């Protein structure tokens, strides 16, 4: 219930509701959380943000008697804002992992986008709105760019912050050369490029379309012990109003006291702290290997569990491949590609071996095989790194990015090697990458994000300015 300054929020426990909370508070309203169906009945205005999978959300609504209350609230014509899934649930049914029955307040079925015309699905990114009538409702949105999980998109530029604890115990933004993040000095210290919250805030102001945090030692430390990381997300999400992705250490885990945490719990904590997407590295490699071996989707991998609850669009798989040169593409059972530039011994081909634990261990699976498998298992996006190119500033690995972005129909984020604005236009003109990510050039202030965008615009590539 509540007075004029209260908005009732239906948070059913999936997805990042923090950004909606921040927005409501920014507008000067207090938030009343729905605890029971009574709270819906008594609401004066109700917001229903929905990120996640249709079936899982319907389950929660039905289980707690919220569905009925929601229907009578909306039928009595009271103020209601359904966001994304929060609107879709009002339809009769959804094709998402279904058909699954919805609330049936709006006639129609929620269908999947057609990807046969070359559109990547899910479509994830920033776009300009073309407003056909004279509606002023969106006048406040600057030049009318909006983040879509939809069907047309502008090319996003993503700033990536690799974070880890340095030897003094501070969480710092670091950046490696081919994944080696230590200074080559006597002290051998972890490179320190700044403070995570400050840098993320700066990149947002500079025009980054998305910000990613990768907790690069998450594979050995358990992320839920890393309260600092969660704190960083909370602070960042207060000031950074572009999608936030966080990765590192997402897996099932049993702590020293024998308490078991599912990867879903880990991810949920990240989402609650302000992440819009989570990114899985090592654990996705193991899941893909298992899937390719057995041909069975167990539903138990972190990838499958998290995408089932939060939706595919919330799950990024980060691939850390290393080039293995070949004279003959038939020498390995993994997909090899012809290289634009031959290897050190004149090799004309290479396959890309996936690694785990921050590049420390090579696995018997190629980037191509991994990408196809994780698409099957429910990944919504692929963050495609390349250890050979990381931190080198010599350009993206076009051969790799071309091979992977042609192989899957989910968006591929090109990463590793950006050193100049031309590298960004090159990757978009030569491959089907859907976004480009860079770290070092932004941290070292060599090239501002704005210059990258101005260059892309000049080259005829649509970006959010």
Q: Identify which of residues 128 and 420 has a Cβ nearer to ligand 1PR in the complex.
A: 420
Q: If you search the block for the tokens 């407003």, which residue do you land on?
A: 131
Q: Which residues bind to ligand 1PR, rule: CB under 6 A? A: 160, 162, 175-176, 179, 181, 214, 216, 218-219, 247-250, 279-283, 318, 320, 358-359, 385, 390-391, 415-418, 438-440
Q: Tell me which DSSP letter residue 194 carries.
A: B
Q: How far is the CB of 247 from ligand 1PR (least distance, A)?
A: 5
Is residue 162 flagged as an active site residue? Answer: yes
Set 162, 276, 388, 397: catalytic member: 162
Q: Identify which of residues 307 and 416 has a Cβ nearer to ligand 1PR in the complex.
A: 416
Q: How far is the CB of 244 from ligand 1PR (least distance, A)?
A: 15
Q: Quote the tokens at residue 303.
A: 């990838």
Q: Identify which of residues 73 and 179 has a Cβ nearer to ligand 1PR in the complex.
A: 179
Q: How far is the CB of 187 from ligand 1PR (least distance, A)?
A: 18
CB 349 within 8 A of CB 338: yes
- Rounded CA-CA distance 90/73 in Å is 12
Set 39, 226, 320, 390: catalytic member: 320
Contacts by residues 304-307 (CB-CB < 8 Å, ≥ 24 positions apart): 304/377, 304/378, 305/262, 305/263, 305/264, 306/250, 306/263, 306/264, 306/267, 306/278, 306/280, 307/53, 307/377, 307/378, 307/379, 307/380
Strand pairing of 260-261 and 253-254?
Answer: antiparallel
User: In sequence order, which ranges of 333-395 are alpha helices (DSSP H)?
Assistant: 367-377
Q: Quote the tokens at residue 239.
A: 């000031």
Q: Identify which of residues 146 and 224 has a Cβ nearer to ligand 1PR in the complex.
A: 224
Q: How far is the CB of 316 from ligand 1PR (least distance, A)?
A: 9
Q: Tell me which DSSP letter residue 313 carries.
A: G
Task: Tell which residue, 36, 44, 104, 107, has the closest CA to residue 78.
Answer: 44
Q: Identify which of residues 269 and 283 has a Cβ nearer to ligand 1PR in the complex.
A: 283
Cα–chain center distance at 428: 20
Q: How distant, in Å, are the alpha carbons of 224, 230, 261 from that of 264? A: 12, 15, 8
Q: Identify which of residues 177 and 238 has a Cβ nearer to ligand 1PR in the complex.
A: 177
Q: How far is the CB of 425 from ligand 1PR (least distance, A)?
A: 16
Q: How far is the CB of 301 from ligand 1PR (least distance, A)?
A: 12
Q: How distant, in Å, are the alpha carbons of 221, 249, 383 from that of 270? A: 15, 11, 18
Beta bridge partners of 350: 325, 337
- Rounded CA-CA distance 335/326 in Å is 11
- Rounded CA-CA distance 235/204 in Å is 13
Is residue 180 flagged as an active site residue? Answer: no
Strand pairing of 80-84 and 30-33?
Answer: unpaired
Q: Identify which of residues 144 and 182 has a Cβ nearer to ligand 1PR in the complex.
A: 182
Catalytic residue numbers read 162, 320
């Amino acid at each position: 219930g509540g007075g004029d300054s209260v908005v009732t929020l239906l948070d059913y426990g999936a997805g990042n509701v923090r950004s909606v909370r921040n927005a409501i508070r920014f507008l000067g309203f207090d938030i009343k959380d729905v605890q029971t169906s009574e709270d819906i009945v008594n609401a004066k205005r109700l917001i229903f943000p929905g990120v996640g999978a249709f079936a899982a959300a319907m389950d929660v609504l039905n289980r707690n008697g919220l569905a009925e209350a929601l229907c009578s609230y909306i039928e009595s014509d009271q103020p209601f804002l359904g966001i994304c899934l929060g609107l879709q649930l009002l339809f009769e049914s959804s094709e998402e992992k279904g058909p699954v029955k919805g609330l049936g307040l709006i006639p129609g079925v929620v269908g999947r986008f057609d990807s046969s015309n070359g559109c990547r699905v899910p479509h994830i990114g920033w776009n300009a709105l073309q407003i056909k009538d004279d509606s002023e409702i969106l006048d406040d949105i600057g030049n009318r760019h909006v983040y879509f999980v939809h069907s047309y998109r502008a090319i996003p530029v993503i700033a990536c912050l690799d974070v880890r604890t340095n030897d003094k115990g501070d969480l710092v933004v670091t950046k490696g050369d081919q994944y080696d993040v230590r200074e080559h000095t006597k002290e051998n210290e972890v490179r320190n490029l700044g403070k995570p919250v400050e840098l993320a805030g700066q990149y947002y102001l500079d025009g980054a379309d998305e910000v990613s945090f990768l907790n690069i030692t998450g594979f050995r430390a358990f992320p839920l012990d890393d309260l600092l990381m969660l704190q960083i997300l909370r602070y960042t999400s207060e000031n950074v109003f572009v999608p936030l992705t966080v990765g590192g250490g997402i897996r099932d885990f049993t702590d020293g006291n024998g308490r078991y945490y599912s990867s879903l719990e880990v991810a949920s904590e990240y989402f609650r702290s302000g992440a819009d997407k989570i990114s899985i590295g090592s654990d996705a490699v193991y899941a893909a290997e298992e899937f390719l071996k057995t041909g069975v989707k167990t539903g138990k991998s972190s990838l499958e569990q998290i995408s089932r609850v939060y939706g595919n669009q919330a799950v990024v798989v980060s691939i850390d491949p290393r080039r293995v040169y070949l004279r003959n593409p038939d020498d390995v059972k993994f997909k090899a590609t012809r290289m634009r530039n031959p290897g050190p011994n004149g090799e004309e081909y290479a396959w890309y071996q996936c690694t785990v634990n921050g590049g420390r261990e090579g696995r018997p699976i190629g980037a191509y095989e991994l990408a196809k498998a994780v698409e099957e298992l429910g990944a919504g996006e692929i963050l495609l790194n390349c250890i050979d190119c990381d931190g080198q500033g010599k350009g993206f690995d076009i051969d790799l990015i071309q091979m992977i972005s042609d192989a899957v129909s989910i968006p591929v984020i090109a990463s590793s090697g950006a050193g100049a604005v031309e590298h960004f236009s090159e990757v978009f003109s030569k491959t089907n990458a859907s976004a480009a990510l860079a770290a070092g050039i932004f941290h070292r202030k060599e090239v501002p994000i704005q210059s990258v965008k101005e260059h892309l615009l000049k080259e005829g590539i649509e970006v959010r300015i």
